[in-house]
Structure formats: C-alpha cells, structure tokens
Amino acid sequence: MVLFYGTREGDYDQTKLSKAQAAFLGHFAETDEFESAASVQGLEKLLRTLGKNVTFHTYPGTTHWFFENDRPDAYNTGAAKTAWERTIRFLTTQLPGKPRG
C-alpha cells in the first residue's frame, strides 16, 4: 500500500490495518499543516506494532501537496521525482508479475 500525506485515524482503521497483508510505503512532507510529524510517527508505530512491513520517507523542505504538480505553491520537483521512483521500485518488488509499459 502506498500512502501520500494522510495519517489520520479516519484514514486508517486499526481493525482493517490488522487484517492487511500488504507492505506499506509512505511519503510525507517535512512541514505539513494537515499532518503532524507526531501523527506520521504514530501511524508508523501502529503499523510496526501490527507486524507490518513499513517504509516511511519524509522529504526535507516540502509541504503538504509536494507531489501535486497542479499546485505550484507546494509542488517540489525533486521530492516528487524521488517519491515516484521509490513508489515504482516498491510496487515492482511487491506486486507479482512483470511490469508493463
């Protein structure tokens, strides 16, 4: 499962997470008005406590929406590129079959 930005309890129900069989990759902004560092750390801790394979990245110098190229006030080309590359690598290793396209 690939996460961008969100960590709120409403986004991730503990009961559902406990049943998830997927690995988790998360991409988070360094400064996020919607998601605190403590919230990101809390979600990571919860997932690890549930025995999940978790890799979270926080991108220095970024704010919420850093991956959204239609939000020029927040978009960060370098962080978005790195997050995309990490996502493709993660999905390639986690999903069965050969990549297409």
Kindly state which CATH superfamily the domain 2-94 is placed in.
Alpha/Beta hydrolase fold, catalytic domain (3.40.50.1820)
For the stretch 9-38, pLDDT in tens is 666 778 888 898 999 999 999 999 999 999
By three-state DSSP, how is residue 60 classified? strand
Residue type, 93: T
Say what the pTM is.
0.88
Of 95, 26, 35, nearest to 55 by C-alpha is 26
pLDDT tens digits for range 25-74:
999 999 999 999 999 999 999 999 999 999 999 999 999 999 999 999 99
